[in-house]
Structure 1
Amino acid sequence: MSMKPQTDVLIIGAGPTGLVLALWLHHQGVKVHIVDQANAPANKSRAIVVHARIVELYRQLGISEDLLALGYKLPATNVWVDGQHKANIPIASSGRELTPYPFMFSVPQDEHEKMLEKRLLGVGVQVQRGTKLQGFVDHGSNITATLFHEGDETSTTHEASFIVGCDGAHSAVRHTIGAKYEGDTYKPLFYIADIEGEAEKLFNGEAHLILTNRSYFNLIVPYNTSGHARLVGITTLNNDMNPNADSPDHDNKITFEDVRPQILDTVPIKLNKVNWFSTYRSHHRIADKFRSGRAFLVGDAAHIHSPVGGQGMNTGIMDSINLAWKLATVLKQTQMSDEAKHQLLESYESERRAFALKILQTTDTGFTTLTSQGVLGYILRNWLIPLGFPLAMKFEFARKRIFQGVSQLICSYRGSSLSQPDAGVVQSGDRLPWVRIGEEDNFSTLCDLCWQVHVYGEPGPQLGQWAQKAGAKLFTFPWNDQYAEAGLIQNAVYLLRPDQYIAGIFEGLSVESRLDEYLLARGLC
């Protein structure tokens, strides 16, 4: 066994989570090797909704504009109940005071992945395809993985400092570390189709939620304004009268023609082309651990959600960005003690599992209620969604809270070992509030993937010297009342992590010594 691993981080799986992890690690000088079992990039659109927090984070590596060029900003969502139009909910700028990207955005996952992989190839990292993980051994100081290459049916070993499973719901990494995948499978059988068609009211460039009193629903999410859309729904072909309803073989044999009558019964459209069609069972599961020694789980390998709100892929990408800076720190800062490295890496699981569990519970409640055959489901489908939701969106507080939740801006790591305890509207562990003053905004500095210090007002005389010594970048912003409206404190020092979350808020005298205490307590200096 060689003394020096071939790779710093071996990534299993080249979906969005694996590609993002590879890009963020490489950007920080980490040597990566990424493999995927598929022989070619995916050619199905699959997950299509990308939320504002992801676009914000993509700005770090200058790829937000590349992503935005691929997709479509959804202007509104419509709600239909048993063929009757009940509501039109504008969403084009529903987060306008909260983020530079105040919209919901649709982009086919295959196009999204191609963009990420092209960027990765541009920096000299190529996905090794047709390669799957057979297993690995954690030696304590490094791991040795056995990789099977389907092209020539040979196996090789690969040594790395760490291994990360971005390999989906059937993760080989998760099986190897013995993590339980706790949860359940929803009974309804979903169909999903990439379609092109015509319908004056339904193919108008807006999203449409089509509900029925039979606990079924259809969702139309447009890719553009010319009739190209994603259609998702629950098929009636797996009801209790069918003895084979719950068998995988039964699911796999269902074709688009089988569900066409049901679709046209509830969705009056003229279908011109079906680009692809599939059925699937939705799950809600979460691994009981996201880390074991030098192995980590990210994305669907760690958690899988109901389709409500399009949260799954977005949550996985945020996993990757959270983990990337922590792995890079451990690998690059050789002066860190083993205990400090362990605590930093442990914070990945504590932060991301807590958030994933919250998302899982929220989406599970929403989906279960949406498809319920009881009184609550009837009230939700007939009254709360078509009447209550549009009304709530007219109130600023409600609109902001809804957008923050759906877009994952609400993600916070308060209480984390990396968050300095404090109080206030904005606290350590929170995402830094976005504030725009004229043509400038305070997120423009966040393009650098590094520790930063922000001061809204006047910095202390020694702060610049401290920042230079600590290797952090200092940015000051002339005070404006809009910062106070966002919850920021005049002249306070905001220490920001590389993933743009607030590590600590420091006020008053001796700020520099308390900043030192923060870093020393966590072995970061």
Structure 2
Amino acid sequence: MRITEEHTKVLIVGAGPSGLMMAAQLLRYGVQPLIIDNKQGPTSHSNALGVQARSLEIYRQMGVSDKVVQNGKQAQGLTFTENSKQAASISLANAGKGQTLFPYVLLYQQYKNERLLLDYLTHHACPVYWETSLITLKQNPGYAYAALKNAEGEYHVKCDWVIGADGAHSTVRKQLNIPFKGDTYPHHFYLVDAELDAPFLDGDYVQLYLSKTGFSGFFPMPEKDCYRIIGSLPAEFENKEDIKIDDVLPLLDKVIGQPVRVVKNNWFTTYKLHHRMAEHFRDHRCFLVGDAAHIHSPVGGQGMNTGLQDAYNLAWKLAGVVTGNIHETILNSYEAERMPVARDLLSSTDRVFNIIMSDGWLMGLVKKWVLPAVLNYFGKNDKIKAQLFRRVSQTGISYRDSKINVHLSRSTRIKAGDRLPYLEIYDEKKQEETDLHAWCSKPGFTLIILGKFDEMLLFNIAKWITNRYTGVLNFFYLPPSGKNLDVFEAFEVSPHQEKAIIVRPDMHIGYMNDLVSIAMLDNYLVNVASVIPAKK
């Protein structure tokens, strides 16, 4: 497909989940990006498998979460079997009850995520230019210059901004000479996506197997009798070429202690794992998201979801700059907020992965006696299970230390920088049941005030928004009532007190104050969140 643009506001290199999410989020704000990928089209392989609650919340804000849930499968739990004996079991059903509308891990393959997002782009008339490569990338004051190439020709495009979403071997990152520090794990692995005849498999639980001969895991897919199998390859396979599925099935049978019959093999591959992170996520007018910025082991199903979160965090800021609603200084917060998340993720997945793969005698004792006991304890302790869910689901990620958040409240449980909690509410104005996340479904910031106020203050707030922040700031008022006591309690507000909350477009709290003051609200938006008010 021929590219006609000679100038684009945003060039996105890479049409995997992170790049597609970046494009979709920009489109929500009316920004039309140019998105390219050197592949022939979207992946046909399952790749990443788990969609976490925080990603489902993004999909809900986009109006597509129902499609995801209907075509996915909830993981009901996890079992751990050692030397053919089940050592531990954890139920994950509603592990995050009360924390989110999606209190589970959803098994929903990467290719489905990509097609969902591609449908969103198509609906908004935004094409993906497949089989199109970035050849060179240069930066100049005020813009970047990209040379692109596909079968139809070569193109020279002036770009206001460039997003590198082009994976672990990112051309954007290499063109920018950003170091990608880390290492490669020494172990070799195999991956099978197949329809199986294996009566011992539950179909709803992730089943992990560990023995002296290796490690394997079975992950149920939404389709009947279909599973993702991952396993470690023994040392004798180190230099073996052309490994096929028939080579690993005997190994798999030894690990689990019984035969597995493959009815239909959909995908088989071998691979090594890496743990690396870019030294910077931004270089002037260029940004890195997803695997272009960080890669790690698949422990916990965090990789694709973290890339989606990268795009979600950056898109509203970049869109605000492109549309002239937010000052360019807001872009400094992307790297400041997302690099600590990636660093923590690499550290935690690295620790867990090394425990699983270690073959030392001490770690052997840990896996035999300590690990099952810990897993069983977690399974029986709802409080710990809820804490674990917050981490795995990514709903617990907070930006409290970010410079674009301000906390002026006595509240200690919920603070500025935290994800807005999922709380069901009764909308007194519309006389209907809803929730705080639904109130934040429109693009832009959302002002929520709690307390009892006279009509004049509400009128003045509405007038202030109309005069200065139309289309940028949405407004909701929640008065005290018997049906909303839980919301007031969560934010530590008595019925006779008041609270002002400004929720960022990514549903993290940007501002919280125990006083509803238009002057202070305005000061936060202009001087902290870098919003550019309308000219009077």
TM-score (norm 1): 0.91
User: Any conservation in 2 of the 1:163–1:294 contact (CA below 8 Å)?
Assistant: yes
User: Any conservation in 2 of the 1:205–1:224 contact (CA below 8 Å)?
Assistant: no
**Farther-moved stretch of structure 1 (25-34 vs 252-261):** 252-261
Whichever residue aligns with residue 96 of structure 2, its letter is G
Distance, in Å, in 2 between the alignment partners of 1:421 and 1:493 is 11
Distance, in Å, in 2 between the alignment partners of 1:467 and 1:431 is 24
1:414 corresponding residue in structure 2: 400
2:485 corresponding residue in structure 1: 481
Q: Deviations over 1:335-371 (max 9, x none)?
A: x6xxx41x21111011011111111111111101121
Flag the 1:157–1:97 CA change in 2: closer, same or farther, 3 A: same
> 433, 440, 443: which one pairs with 2:437?
443
Structure 2 counterpart SS, 1:253: coil
> 432, 443, 454: which one pairs with 2:420?
432
2:504 corresponding residue in structure 1: 497
2:254 corresponding residue in structure 1: 265
Distance, in Å, in 2 between the alignment partners of 1:328 and 1:452 is 16
Flag the 1:272–1:10 CA change in 2: closer, same or farther, 3 A: same
User: Any conservation in 1 of the 2:48–2:109 contact (CA below 8 Å)?
Assistant: yes
Structure 2 counterpart SS, 1:204: coil
Distance, in Å, in 2 between the alignment partners of 1:498 and 1:60 is 10
**Farther-moved stretch of structure 1 (484-493 vs 440-449):** 484-493
Whichever residue aligns with residue 493 of structure 1, its letter is A
Superposed, 1:506-521 pairs within 5 Å as 506-508=513-515, 511-521=517-527
1:29 corresponding residue in structure 2: 30
Distance, in Å, in 2 between the alignment partners of 1:389 and 1:465 is 55
Flag the 1:189–1:436 CA change in 2: closer, same or farther, 3 A: same
Unpaired runs of 5+ residues, structure 1, are none
Superposed, 1:80-479 pairs within 5 Å as 80-149=81-150, 151-152=151-152, 154-213=153-212, 216-224=214-222, 226-236=224-234, 239=235, 245=238, 250=239, 253-267=242-256, 268=258, 269-333=260-324, 340-341=327-328, 343-422=329-408, 424-437=412-425, 439-459=433-453, 461=457, 462-468=460-466, 469-471=468-470, 472-479=473-480
Aligned residues: 504
Structure 2 counterpart SS, 1:310: coil
Q: Deviations over 1:210-244 (max 9, x none)?
A: 12245x321111113731011111111xx2x67xx
Flag the 1:163–1:53 CA change in 2: closer, same or farther, 3 A: same
Distance, in Å, in 2 between the alignment partners of 1:233 and 1:402 is 24
Distance, in Å, in 1 between the alignment partners of 2:269 and 2:11 is 31
Whichever residue aligns with residue 311 of structure 2, its letter is S
Aligned residues: percent identity? 32
Distance, in Å, in 1 between the alignment partners of 2:240 and 2:59 is 37
Flag the 1:390–1:145 CA change in 2: closer, same or farther, 3 A: same
Distance, in Å, in 1 between the alignment partners of 2:424 and 2:367 is 38
Q: Deviations over 1:166-218 (max 9, x none)?
A: 0000000001111110111111111111011122221433211112245x321
Query: By how many angstroms is 1:282 displaced?
Result: 0.7
**Farther-moved stretch of structure 1 (446-455 vs 406-415):** 446-455
User: Any conservation in 1 of the 2:37–2:128 contact (CA below 8 Å)?
Assistant: yes
Query: By how many angstroms is 1:485 displaced?
Result: 5.0
TM-score (norm 2): 0.90
Whichever residue aligns with residue 259 of structure 1, its letter is V
Query: By how many angstroms is 1:470 displaced?
Result: 2.9
Flag the 1:515–1:6 CA change in 2: closer, same or farther, 3 A: same
Q: Deviations over 1:480-513 (max 9, x none)?
A: 332255345352111111111000101126x211
Q: Deviations over 1:127-177 (max 9, x none)?
A: 10111111111112111101121x35x321112211101000000000111
User: Any conservation in 2 of the 1:22–1:32 contact (CA below 8 Å)?
Assistant: yes
User: Any conservation in 2 of the 1:205–1:225 contact (CA below 8 Å)?
Assistant: no
Query: By how many angstroms is 1:70 displaced?
Result: 2.0
User: Any conservation in 1 of the 2:181–2:279 contact (CA below 8 Å)?
Assistant: yes
User: Any conservation in 1 of the 2:450–2:488 contact (CA below 8 Å)?
Assistant: no
RMSD: 2.0
Whichever residue aligns with residue 519 of structure 1, its letter is L
Distance, in Å, in 1 between the alignment partners of 2:100 and 2:367 is 30
2:430 corresponding residue in structure 1: none
User: Any conservation in 1 of the 2:88–2:375 contact (CA below 8 Å)?
Assistant: no
Query: By how many angstroms is 1:400 displaced?
Result: 1.4
User: Any conservation in 2 of the 1:371–1:377 contact (CA below 8 Å)?
Assistant: no
Distance, in Å, in 2 between the alignment partners of 1:381 and 1:436 is 41
Unpaired runs of 5+ residues, structure 2, are 427-432
Distance, in Å, in 1 between the alignment partners of 2:84 and 2:404 is 51
